[in-house]
């Protein structure tokens, strides 16, 4: 739990998140950073991993269960579709309520605050149920891009902030009053928005080649999707590129990648804390269709090849990237290779995709969301 010392005269904000993937934590941290940049020292805050810290067993293991579950795309997609209506998601919450009720009330007792912000779909309805008894403002910041599950939307929230117009339309279809949903963007850390160092200086520091395009490969926080197969296909095609592969928290994948004999320059990493540098020093991103990673790449003007998606949840992300011309959907390793070949042969195609990334980027999102939260707790910018 990330926590600042409570100051009685400052509004206190609690962020509900969980490490199911990397995106929820990144979003909460980006908003907190933006609050500190714009309203320094004016709020205190905590990040609470509701699953790890409060859910009864086995739900407290959700962050550990999520990676293996997400590696079963057919089952994931089935579960997503079966639950994705307001009625079904309400029924699931009703069934879970007797089991989780005490934990949620304990959360409310132990974390008094002036504003609660949820960046996780599964935390909205259970927490809002307790608001019959007490009333503090509750804001949902949706961290899926377009295909936003019914779990995100509960009309008892005071404000629901979404990244795209598609997500807003989704919320309205799920019965949310239009005036409650605001399109601001997906919050992204400030370092993505400013180049701290020249790309070549970063490459020198990292020991990456300076004379080849750098292809950055990421599978979200958990190293998901056919990352390994795709890296082998690029290697076997002997493309004149350097590969930088981030395996995230997937240690086995990292070990296998490190022990492989590569034909081309390859650098392998586990979970990295300096993703802005990795993106700013690369030429192309090959990634699963995670909303956080896509939003960060757009800000960095890094053209995107999407090699996998979580069915249901990330379908809309693929359409969004492809329709905006920011990247390509390449679900087979050969397709990734042929896209790279065409982008190497005609770099103007890659530059056009990079320009489209910048066009759809929302670098202001974290700051605008921070301003919306600040307005709710009545703080203003220092003169
Ligand atoms: N990330 C990171 N270090 C890593 C791998 C991922 O900081 O080694 C971050 C990445 O920059 C992004 C988030 O984790 O902010 C992944 O979020 P996304 O929504 O793309 O996918 P998820 O992991 O939530 O499915």
Nearest CA to ligand 1 atom 6: 221
CATH of the domain at 279: 3.40.50.2000
Among 18, 22, 62, 280, say which to mutate for ligand 1: greatest number of ligand atoms within 8 Å of CB: 22
Q: How far is the CA of 22 from the centre of ligand 1 (A)?
A: 4
- Considering the domain architecture, whether residues 121 and 162 belong to the same structural domain is answered as yes
Per-residue confidence (pLDDT) for residue 152, from 0 to 100: 98
Could you tell me if the CB of 26 is within 6 A of ligand 1? Answer: yes
Same domain, 25 and 163: yes
State whether 343 and 371 are in the same domain: no
Residue 223 lies in a domain: yes
Instruction: Please tell me whether residues 32 and 174 are part of one structural domain.
Output: yes
- 168 and 252 inside one domain: no
pLDDT at 225: 84
Is residue 112 within 8 A of residue 11, CB to CB? The reply is no
pLDDT at 189: 97
Same domain, 117 and 196: no
The finding on whether 291 has its CB within 6 A of some atom of ligand 1 is yes
Ligand 1 nearest-atom number relative to CA 248: 8
**pLDDT per 10-residue tile (average), the chain, 383 residues:** 63 96 94 97 96 92 86 90 96 96 95 97 95 85 96 97 97 97 98 94 98 96 90 96 96 96 97 96 97 97 96 94 98 98 97 98 98 95 70
Q: Tokens representing 121?
A: 């779909």
pTM of the model: 0.93
163 lines ligand 1 (CB under 6 A): no
**Domain membership flag for residue 165:** yes
| pLDDT (0 to 100) of residue 1 | 53
* CA of residue 379 to ligand 1 center, whole Å: 31
11 lines ligand 1 (CB under 6 A): no
**Contact assessment for residue 13 and residue 43, using Cβ atoms and an 8 Å cutoff:** yes
The pLDDT of residue 134? 66
Specify whether 148 is located in the same domain as 42.
yes
pLDDT attached to residue 3: 57
Q: What total of structural domains would you count in the chain? A: 2
- Same-domain check for residues 266 and 181: no
Domain assignment present for 153: yes
Domain shared by 12 and 144, yes or no: yes
User: Domain residues for 326?
Assistant: 191-360
Rg value, the chain, Cα:
21
41 and 57 housed in the same domain: yes
**Alpha-carbon distance 146 to 316, whole Å?**
5
For residue 382, tell me if it sits in a domain. no
* Domain membership flag for residue 13: yes
Q: Are residues 115 and 238 in the same domain?
A: no
The 10 Å Cβ neighbour count of residue 2 is 14
Residue 383 lies in a domain: no
Cα–Cα distance for residue pair 45/13, rounded to 1 Å: 5
Residues 162 and 208 reside in one and the same domain: no
């Amino acid at each position: 739990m990330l926590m600042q010392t409570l100051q009685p005269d400052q509004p206190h904000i609690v962020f509900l998140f969980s490490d199911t993937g990397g995106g929820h934590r990144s979003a909460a941290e980006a908003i907190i950073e933006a609050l500190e940049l714009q309203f320094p020292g004016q709020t205190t805050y905590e990040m609470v991993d509701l699953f790890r810290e409060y859910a009864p067993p086995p739900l407290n293991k959700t962050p550990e269960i999520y990676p293996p579950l997400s590696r079963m795309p057919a089952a994931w997609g089935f579960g997503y579709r079966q639950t994705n209506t307001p009625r079904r998601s309400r029924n699931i919450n009703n069934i879970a309520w007797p089991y989780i009720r005490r934990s949620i009330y304990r959360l409310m007792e132990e974390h008094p605050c002036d504003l609660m912000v949820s960046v996780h779909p599964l935390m909205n309805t259970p927490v809002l149920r307790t608001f019959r008894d007490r009333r503090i403002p509750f804001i949902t910041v949706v961290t899926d891009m377009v295909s936003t599950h019914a779990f995100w939307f509960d009309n008892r929230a005071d404000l629901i902030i979404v990244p795209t117009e598609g997500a807003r339309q989704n919320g309205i279809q799920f019965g949310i009053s239009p005036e409650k949903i605001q399109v601001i963007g997906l919050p992204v850390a400030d370092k993505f928005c400013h180049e701290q160092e020249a790309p070549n200086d970063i490459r020198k520091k990292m020991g990456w080649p300076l004379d080849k395009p750098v292809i950055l490969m990421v599978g979200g926080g958990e190293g998901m999707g056919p990352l390994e197969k795709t890296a082998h296909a690029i290697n076997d095609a002997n493309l004149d590129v350097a590969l930088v592969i981030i395996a995230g928290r997937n240690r086995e994948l990292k070990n296998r990648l490190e022990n492989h004999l590569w034909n081309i320059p390859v650098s392998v990493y586990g979970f990295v804390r300096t993703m802005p540098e990795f993106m700013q020093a690369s030429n192309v991103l090959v990634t699963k269709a995670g909303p956080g990673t896509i939003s960060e790449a757009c800000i960095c003007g890094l053209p995107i090849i999407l090699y996998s998606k979580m069915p249901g949840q990330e379908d809309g992300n693929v359409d969004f990237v492809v329709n905006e011309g920011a990247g390509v959907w390449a679900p087979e390793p050969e397709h990734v290779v042929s896209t790279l070949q065409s982008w190497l042969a005609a770099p103007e195609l890659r530059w056009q995709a990079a320009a489209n990334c910048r066009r759809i980027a929302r670098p202001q999102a974290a700051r605008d969301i921070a301003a919306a939260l600040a307005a709710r707790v009545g703080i203003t910018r220092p003169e």
